[in-house]
Amino acid sequence: MEDNEGRELLQMSHAQFMETVRVCKHFPNINCAHDVLDSYHIFTRETVTLQVTLEREMEGRKEVSLFDASRFPKPKEEGWWLVISDRKSNHSAGYQLCITATKGETEIGFCNTNCFGKQTYTLHVQACLECDQEYEFTIDVKEAVDDAEDGKPMDE
Return per-residue pLDDT of the chain as tens, 156 residues: 666 676 777 788 888 888 887 777 767 778 899 999 998 889 888 899 999 998 887 676 666 666 666 677 777 677 788 999 988 888 888 888 887 667 888 999 998 777 888 999 999 998 766 668 899 999 999 987 765 555 555 554
Domains of the chain with bracketed CATH:
29-149 (2.60.40.150)
What pLDDT, on a 0 to 100 scale, did the predictor assign at position 143? 86
Residue 96: closest CA among 112, 87, 83: 83
Pairing of strands 30-36, 47-56: antiparallel
Q: Is 36 helix (H, G, I), strand (E, B) or coil?
A: strand
- Strand order across the beta sheet in which 30-36 lies: 30-36, 47-56, 103-111
